[in-house]
Structure 1
């Protein structure tokens, strides 16, 4: 009753943590990480900066007007959404194009306006000299009125790769060649997780359905969703679906194998309730001081299944020993006394070792690991406590029928394995040695390339076929640039100008890593023209110079450009308030100020999904942000999803070795503490190392790389690997080190069941859509197979081989050599 009463607040706190599942990348990193500090500042200073793209594939160019009509009708509805969801809706760039054409003179550099004026006046003077006959040389070539060089310079003004005029001749985000049309929705707040993205996406889908869907407008059209919002919703939805599915699969299969193994259906009622209580207790305790884990992230979200899969081991060992006694005809209480006494050392060792393995992750700065370590470490201790406090009471209440425990004939299903390790120990050791040698050979090639640098391989499996990955590539092909920039935050407009100039200089250099990676750089000076009064003076002078006679000398294809240059004769300055919204996105801050941000738009490329180029891109920007502001000034901050990804990779490289080393050393210390320095400790540690080497070799053989999710499987494997070896060797020691085969037959079965239930938990992740979860499950399953094989086959075979040698030596000392055969007697 006390356990159930404590479960009430524990369940509430656990449910609250799962309700606040956070998929933001920064939730994995320490708060002091440069990218996290920058993201926090960006949220405080800037609204928006992220988009949901609704892309219509019309199937063919003829259906393009129908697709545009669908987006027009959808845009009318989306504009009615509350401002916390939507800040701006765009179907094209007509507004910006019209604004630029009206004010093209102000967006031309003053020096270029002067050049235009000089060329016009030079040609005018030549024409006058020719008419008056004052030209000194009739062969002089007249100055050309050609401004192609200046026009080319401004073709890319405020947009991507310089081909927007050709890319969107209608002013809409549409392409007849690609038969697609795009609606861009700028979201209300910046987020690297789902945020309000799910609500926004659900409303958009509902409105498309209310409009009759694509078939209402034209046949064979498809709608896809892309951009930051679609990525976050897609990945988090897949994560939650995978968790729900895996939990159901794990529960059903674990119940089934428990009933099959114990042949007592009430074993489920004995084992599962304490385990569930331990799980909710673990999450609840982790939410309290000093841990303060209030929300789960993408790494800790599946910890519930892991605690269940690993924590059940202690109860399985205890109940297995209890039922062994009951099958021998011992009464309930005495059987439980024996079960608790006999299993306590092995399970305590296993619980502490597993807890230390998890806790080692808490030594890292990577929050995705640290929170995992807190909850997992507490979970192992709580699983042991609830098993040994509650299983005896539940067993006494439920075990009323002694006939339910029938004696197992022929030693149970582990009998063949016991015979194998005792009678064919040499063969088992030979195979184990070959696998060890192959693993070491694989590990000799281990290097930095064993880290997974390609983040695109960690997304959900179908994203590149039908999900955001597929539609995102099509949007990138349509626009020619990424929508969401990397933002460099400075403390003054002067610093922003210095940083922007340094970034432009670096991107223009063929020797810089930024040369091929930047599409466009934007500051307030790019959208709010400077020297406006001086430009008005030049424009008026050009207007005066462009008499009808001079205009007739302009090449026909350039007359339209000249007309646009001179269109605004009101000489009204452009203010920040006059700028179209798209010009000020990312530049206007929440307090109304502007001019302190530099927007760097990356060029669409797979390189930005890969570690080395991504790290080089971010580090180059950070170096510029530090150096360009001048000595003594606070360095500018580089914010965005790309710096977050780069810091995640850096953190894994830095913390990975630290956490793995701490886990391995901690597990060894636990073994030495409980078993002292003797041969049993050596066997246990040897079995653990064998399993770990096998795991690492298998990963390299199968080409499975380490990433921010599956890395956690290594410290867990240390704890689980020693768990199995500890229980087998503890039983061997309790039996007086007489027969390792008995330990395999009796405790080996329980160890195999422990591994099977844990493997079931991990195997459910192999069906996950999220590739990071899939790869975690794969590594964990490989670790289980390696460690349980080492514990119940390779390690007992080694013990049996040594015992056999000791037995032969002992018999040789008791019997003199045979005079007939000249060798020791070896018969019993």
Structure 2
């Protein structure tokens, strides 16, 4: 008996107790880790990404950049209006670190600008109006002169297209005139909204709780309108729903994986206590993994959050192999210690190879800057190593403890694998057909590689949100917010450090919008200076002149339409210049920074419901915005959802191929180093190559969009997928080229079980609400299927075809694979 096995059996109880202590600690820190979920998309990007740095700077300088939209539905307009007013009053009383501000009505702001409308008319147009009034008065004087009538003089009547002028300036307030009495509501007031702004460094959860509490205290159905309904939308609600769905998906997938895996172990092994030892070792390894991750990364992002079910599904492969060999040796009448020694001796190297291959595949992701990959890779690598360690420490200790209480005597008959037997039967009956199908799939997949282009990267991030939100939550109700406002409420932001730079930037962005034409991703650009009329002294002089030209006696003779037009021009407010500090607080507040400085903010508003399907165009657009900003003031932050999307696409394009190449190279090198002889490692690598190529071919054939999450499935398929080739062909090598069908029957059950548990880990994500999880689950399950098919169907069929051909040419030929005790031993 080897020294290690002797140590494990003699110190079984202390080992298990020590492992349990570490597992309790691991569980505690795992819980703390999962409490720190960060679902914001910027958490996936490198901390050095321009969009992340810019967003952090904007957050540090502005009071608020996000809001909760409180939608109110009721046919009772008067009472729903009263409810919104009362709710706003309660929310405004909340601390500013919980709620930054509340908006629901802009009547005062509209009155302010309408009273000073004349000052916002361009100076040339105002001069034309003044000249028209002067000429019109002169014309009226001439045609009313009797001498002119008798002299037969023709006098041209002055004209001015007032309709064109009104149309030109109507757009300045048209987006706001539609609000009934200034309330944020539809014209019929059956739908209205109240915007609650979150402090930049505030908590969305605290804000939402404050809103819900205020609504409950008002009891709208009882005190306002029985049909009054309230729903939520906006960035704050998006984050809350995404996080809640994430937690729900995690809980469901973890429970589902645990139940299915436990059931599979009991059914396959038909040994409850042995299966229990396996499951305990698996969960201990998982607790250690996420406990260590708490100290390694400190939090979970949207990519790494669901790794619990993945670690369970992948990490169980090692104890499956060890336990299968142990039970096989017990059936061969070996005592516990001898059976354990044999099983450890014959599985440790092969399973460590598989653990290293999987770990390196995960680890390749840790080499990237993209945090969505990096964190996933770090935790995955830790998980594979710790699950392997748990397999060869905790499980032998538990098996020893269980055997001491009552001998672990499995049923004498080895459990038959119906699946493995069926596979062997198909391969033996149709080797040629399977081989040709494999060749055809390989050629087809190779041809599909030429279809690849950057548009396969998903740029519409709304398709990756949770399904419930899109169908019933914030994503669904956002259409009502769009209906009320008709514009984008979360524009991009450029924030230079000088107000003069903001004006220059605005002009350059407006020029770009005009140059790009109807397809421009810029719908509107605004700065604080847009709210302060230009050329005010000269305009006021002209307005005073118009006032002198139109004394009350003349105004009394005008028709109602002309009289209204004149009253808009000749108002006391129009004769006083507007300073920045005179602007309404609501307007001024939007352009005021935390330090009190004003006027540096540039708002760049995309068209409503912007969807960019061309990643290259999006990247080019964002680069152009940054180049313009840097040309005016280097380092000016340009923040918003489009820059984040652009940087995410660039990160995937840059880091994805790098991680994939490293993972593939690492796995290939590992297999070559450990197996050494080409006759041994060639079939393993060929099976892996076929499985991965078929996966890529299927993705490109169906144009399965690649996103920041499902891309991970490709590099980790190398590490997980190679395990099946290692299992089958290491046993084939140990049998010295014996019948491959016998190898499938002997090892196929465990291989299929490994694949099943891994597939369960991935497949549990298919029922998730989060569509990014679903996309990863689909791609990962597809990778499992192709790799298992290559190892269990394609390669065995090809070997049989080659063997049959050689036997026909040379009846005396026998297959030969030189064994080498130094190589990793058979896994079963």
Tell me the equivalent position of 2:166: 151
Asked whether 1:78 is paired with 2:91, we answer: yes
Alpha-carbon distance in 2 for matches of 1:134, 1:280 = 106
Residues 334-413 of structure 1 aligned to structure 2 (within 5 Å): 334-400=338-404, 401-402=406-407, 404-408=409-413, 411-413=416-418
Shift of 1:553: 6.3
Residue 502 in structure 1 maps to residue 508 in structure 2: yes
Deviation, structure 1 residue 479 = 1.0
Residue 215 of structure 1 deviates from its aligned partner by 7.7
1:93 equivalent in structure 2? 106
Q: Are 1:463 and 2:474 counterparts? A: no
Alignment of 1:461-540 (within 5 A): 461-509=467-515, 511=517, 513-514=519-520, 517-540=521-544
User: SS at the partner of 2:455?
Assistant: helix
For 1:173 and 1:702, the matched residues in 2 are separated by 44
Match of 1:819 in 2: none
Looking at structure 1, the residues matched to 415 and 229 of structure 2 have their Cα atoms a distance apart, in angstroms, of 64
- Aligned counterparts of 2:294 and 2:205: Cα–Cα separation in 1: 26
C-alpha displacement of 1:685: 0.6
Q: For structure 1, which segment, 466-475 or 117-126, has the greater mean C-alpha deviation from structure 2 after superposition?
A: 117-126
Counterpart in the other structure of 1:650: 650
Superimposed CA distance per residue, residues 515-548 of structure 1 (whole angstroms, 9 cap, x where no aligned partner)? xx43322112112345444444443333333312
Give the Å deviation of 1:508.
2.5
Conserved? CA contact 1:455–1:610, under 8 Å: no
Q: Is residue 321–residue 351 contact of structure 2 (8 Å, CA) maintained in 1?
A: yes
Residue 351 (structure 1) shift: 0.9
Name the residue aligned to 1:447. Answer: 453
Report whether the alignment pairs 1:261 with 2:268. Answer: yes
Deviation at 1:50, TM superposition (A): 1.9
Distance (whole Å) between structure 2 residues aligned to residue 215 and residue 810 of structure 1: 93
Contact 2:180 2:187 in 1 (8 A): no
| Kept in 1: contact 2:257–2:312 (CA 8 A) | no
* Aligned partners of 2:115 and 2:574 also within 8 Å: no
Following superposition, the deviation at residue 364 of structure 1 comes to 2.1
Q: How many residues are matched?
A: 794
1:229 maps to 236
Distance verdict in 2 for CA 1:404–1:213, change over 3 Å = farther
Correspondent of 2:442 among 432, 436, 441? 436
Contact 1:146 1:554 in 2 (8 A): no
Instruction: State how 1:209-248 maps to structure 2 within 5 Å.
Output: 209-214=216-221, 217-218=224-225, 222-248=229-255
- Aligned with 2:595: secondary structure? coil
Greater shift in the superposed pair: 457-466 or 35-44: 457-466
Q: Does the 8 Å CA contact 1:325/1:335 hold for their aligned counterparts?
A: yes
SS at match of 1:607: coil
Match of 2:548 in 1: 544
Could you list the per-position Cα deviations for residues 653-705 of structure 1 after superposition, in whole angstroms to 9, with x for gaps in the alignment? 22222221221111111111111141121101110111112222333455522
The 1:553/1:23 distance shift into structure 2, 3 A limit, reads farther
User: Residues of 2 paired with 1:489 and 1:550: CA distance?
Assistant: 50
Instruction: Say yes or no: does 1:48 pair with 2:64.
Output: yes
Aligned equivalents of 1:22 and 1:454: distance in 2?
A: 20
Deviates more, 1:755-764 or 1:693-702: 693-702
Residue of 250, 260, 276 corresponding to 2:257: 250
Distance in 1 (CA, whole Å) between partners of 2:147 and 2:290 is: 95
**3-state DSSP of counterpart to 2:596:** coil
Greater Cα offset, 107-116 or 589-598? 107-116
Conserved 8 A contact 1:36-1:644:
yes
Q: Alignment partner of 1:155: what SS?
A: helix
- Counterpart residue number, 1:271: 278
**SS where residue 71 of structure 2 aligns?**
strand
User: CA 1:543/1:813 → structure 2, altered by over 3 Å: closer, same or farther?
Assistant: closer
Counterpart CA distance in 2 for 1:123 and 1:52 is 53
Q: Is the 8 A contact 1:345 1:730 kept in 2?
A: no
TM-score by length of 2: 0.89
Contact preservation (8 Å) 1:215, 1:221: no
Give the CA deviation at 1:652.
Answer: 1.5
1:736 equivalent in alignment to 2:740: no
TM-score between the two structures when normalised by the length of structure 1: 0.89
Give how far 1:445 is off. 3.1
Report the counterpart of residue 312 of structure 1 in structure 2. Answer: 316
**In 2: Cα distance, 1:101 partner to 1:639 partner:** 32
Q: Secondary structure at the match of 1:266?
A: helix
Query: Counterparts in 2 of 1:764-803, with a 5 A limit?
Result: 764-803=764-803
- Correspondent of 2:81 among 48, 68, 77: 68
Structure with bigger helix share is 2
Residues in 2 aligned to 1:616 and 1:63: alpha-carbon distance in whole angstroms: 49
Instruction: Deviation per CA, 1:133-164: give whole Å up to 9, x if none.
Output: 8989942234347644443333233x6xx443
> In the alignment, which residue of structure 1 is the partner of 2:13?
none
**Alpha carbons of 1:611 and 1:582: their partners in 2 closer, same or farther (altered >3 Å)?**
farther
The corresponding residue for 2:9 is none
For the pair 1:28 / 2:39, whether they are aligned, the reply is no
- Cα separation, 1, equivalents of 2:618 and 2:505: 20
Task: Give the secondary structure class of the aligned counterpart of 1:518.
Answer: coil
Residues 1:636 and 1:64: Cα distance change in structure 2 (over 3 Å): same
Tell me how far 1:178 sits from its aligned partner.
Answer: 8.3
Query: 1: distance between equivalents of 2:651 and 2:518?
Result: 25
User: Which range moved further: 728-737 or 214-223?
Assistant: 214-223
Structure 1 residue aligned with 2:820? none
CA displacement, residues 26-59 of structure 1 (integer Å, 9 cap, x when unaligned) = 111112212112101101111113222122343x
Q: Where in structure 2 are the equivalents of 1:690-709 lying within 5 Å?
A: 690-709=690-709
Residue 596 of structure 1 and its aligned partner are, at CA, apart by 1.8
Matches of 2:783 and 2:285, distance apart in 1:
24
Indicate conservation of the 8 Å contact 1:155/1:163, yes or no: no
1:661 and 2:638 aligned? no
Asked if the contact 1:124/1:550 (under 8 Å) is kept, the reply is: no
How far apart in 2 are the matches of 1:252 and 1:163?
56
Match of 1:681 in 2: 681
Post-superposition Cα deviations, 1:483-529, rounded to whole Å, max 9, x if no partner, equal: 11111122312211111111112223354742xx4332211211234
Give the superposition deviation at 1:405.
0.2
What's the counterpart of residue 34 of structure 2?
18
- C-alpha distance in 2, partners of 1:134/1:45? 71
Residue 186 of structure 1 is matched in structure 2 by 197
How far, CA to CA, are the matches of 2:375 and 2:421 in structure 1? 42
What's the CA shift string for 1:578-626, capped at 9, x where partnerless? 4323313442111111222211122213425764554454234223323
> Distance between the aligned counterparts of 1:638 and 1:550, measured in 2?
54
Shift of the 131–369 alpha-carbon distance from structure 1 to 2, 3 Å rule, reads same
Q: Call closer, same or farther: CA 1:164–1:754 in 2, change over 3 Å.
A: same
Cα RMSD after superposing both structures: 2.8
Q: Secondary structure at 1:224's aligned position in 2?
A: strand
**1:276–1:528 CA distance, 2 compared to 1 (3 A):** farther
Moved more, 685-694 or 125-134: 125-134
CA distance in 1, matches of 2:353, 2:655: 26
Q: Give the Cα separation in 1 of the matches to 2:502 and 2:146.
A: 54
Match for residue 168 of structure 1 among 179, 198, 204: 179
Q: Give, in whole Å, the separation in 1 of the partners of 2:659 and 2:53.
A: 24
Give unpaired runs (5+ residues) of structure 1.
Answer: 815-828
Q: Would the alpha carbon gap of residues 570 and 154 (structure 1) be closer, same or farther in structure 2, given more than 3 Å must change?
A: closer
Return the alpha-carbon distance in structure 2 between the equivalents of residues 489 and 432 of structure 1.
Answer: 57
Distance in 2 of aligned mates of 1:369 and 1:802? 41
Q: Secondary structure at the match of 2:232?
A: strand
Q: Is the 8 A contact 1:684 1:725 kept in 2?
A: yes
Q: Comparing 487-496 with 729-738, which one deviates more in the overlay?
A: 729-738
Contact 1:359 1:374 in 2 (8 A): yes
Q: Is the 8 A contact 1:504 1:521 kept in 2?
A: yes
Change (3 A) 1:210 1:252: farther
CA deviation after TM superposition for structure 1 residue 128, in Å: 4.6
